[in-house]
Structure 1
C-alpha cells in the first residue's frame, strides 16, 4: 500500500515538473516572438515618427508663407534687389544668403521659425522666362537639403509699378518696368508684370 502511494506521489511530482517545463518553454518562446516583433516594429515606428515631423514642418512652412503674404511681407523680399547689380542686398555668397534669411521681415520670420530651432532652409523664386521655361533664383542657400527635406510654395503676382527696395528696407523709385537688372522678365504688355512662385525648403540640421 505504501509503495503504491509513493509511486503515485512520484508520478504527480513528475507531471508537475513536466508542466513547469512546458510553461517555461512557452514563456521563453513568447519572449522570443515578442522580441522579434519589437525589432520588426522599430523601423516602422521611426519612419512614422519621421513622417509626422515632416508633415509638421511642411505645415509650418506653408503657414509662414501664407502669413507673409497676408501681412504683405512676402513681396518686399522678392523686390529687395539692388537696381544696379540685380542682386539681393547684402548677400554673402554667389548672390545668395548662406547663414540665414535676408534682412527683411520674411527673413526674420524664417530665422525665428526654423533657424533658431536647428532647422536649415533654402529660399527660391521660380519665374517664367520669355522662352516659356521656368528658371529659379536662389535667395537663401544654407546647403544641400537632406533626404527628409520638405518644401512649401506660394504664388506671388508682380505688377509693373511694383518698386524695388533699398538696403535699409525703404521703397525706391525704381519700378519693375524701369529696372533692366531684375531677375524676372516682364511677361505681359498690361499692368501685370509676372506671376512667380516662392519656395521654401526646410530640413533638420
Structure 2
C-alpha cells in the first residue's frame, strides 16, 4: 500500500513538473514572438516610410536642378530675372507685394516650373540672391507659394548679369532699358566694367 502511494505521489509530481515545463515553454514562446513582432514594428515600418520619403525628396531635388540647368542652357533663365517693370522695379503681372503667389511668373521659366511642380501638387518658391551695395547678400522673392515644410529641398544656379542686359516688358519682349539705365532694378551694380552683378537663383520645392 505504501509503495503504491509513493508511486502515485511520484507520478503526480512528474505530471505536475511536465505541466510546469510546458507552461514555461509556451510562455517563453509567446514572449519571444512578442519581442520579434515589436522589433519588426519599430524597425521596419518607420524605416520603410523614411526611405520612401527620402526617395521622393531626392527626385524633387533632381527635377529642380534639371529645370534650372535646362533654363540656363536654352536661355530662358535670365529673362525671368529681368522681367521687371522699369517704373516700379517689380515683376510684371498679378503679384502680391511684388511676389507671385499662385504659381510661376508668366515667362518660359515660370511655365516650366508650373508644369514640373505646381500641376503635380508640389509647391515651390523662387528666390534671387544678390550682392547689395553694402556688400551683404539680399534675397529677392520672385515666387512665394507658402512656407516650406520640413521635407523641402532646394536647387541653385548662378547667373551673371551684365550692364547691357535689357529689361523685359509685360508681353515678354525686350525693352530699351538696360540695367545701367534702370534706377529701380532690385540688384545693384557691384562691378566695374561690363559686369553688373552675379546672382544666385534658388528654387525651393515641397509637397503640399
TM-score w.r.t. structure 2 length?
A: 0.86
Counterpart in the other structure of 2:138? 135
Deviation at 1:56, TM superposition (A): 1.6
Give CA deviations for 1:57-96 in whole Å, capped at 9, x if unaligned. Answer: 1111111111110111100000000111110001420000
Pairing 1:178-189 to 2, within 5 Å after superposition = 178-189=181-192
Structure 1, unpaired ranges of 5+: 1-9
Counterpart in the other structure of 1:29? 31
The answer to which of 13-22 and 125-134 deviates more is: 13-22
d(CA) in 2 for partners of 1:169 and 1:20?
84
| 1:74 aligned residue (73, 77, 83) | 77
Counterpart in the other structure of 2:126? 123
Give CA deviations for 1:109-161 in whole Å, capped at 9, x if unaligned. Answer: 10000111111000000000111100011100001111111111100000111
Pairing 1:125-204 to 2, within 5 Å after superposition = 125-204=128-207
Deviation at 1:17, TM superposition (A): 7.2
Secondary structure of the 2:180 match is: coil
Find out whether 1:60 has 2:63 as its counterpart: yes
d(CA) in 2 for partners of 1:95 and 1:57?
26
TM-score w.r.t. structure 1 length?
A: 0.87
Counterpart in the other structure of 2:40? 38
| 2:89 aligned residue (77, 86, 89) | 86
Secondary structure of the 2:150 match is: coil
Q: CA RMSD in A?
A: 2.5
Structure 2, unpaired ranges of 5+: 1-11
Counterpart in the other structure of 2:5? none
Deviation at 1:28, TM superposition (A): 2.2
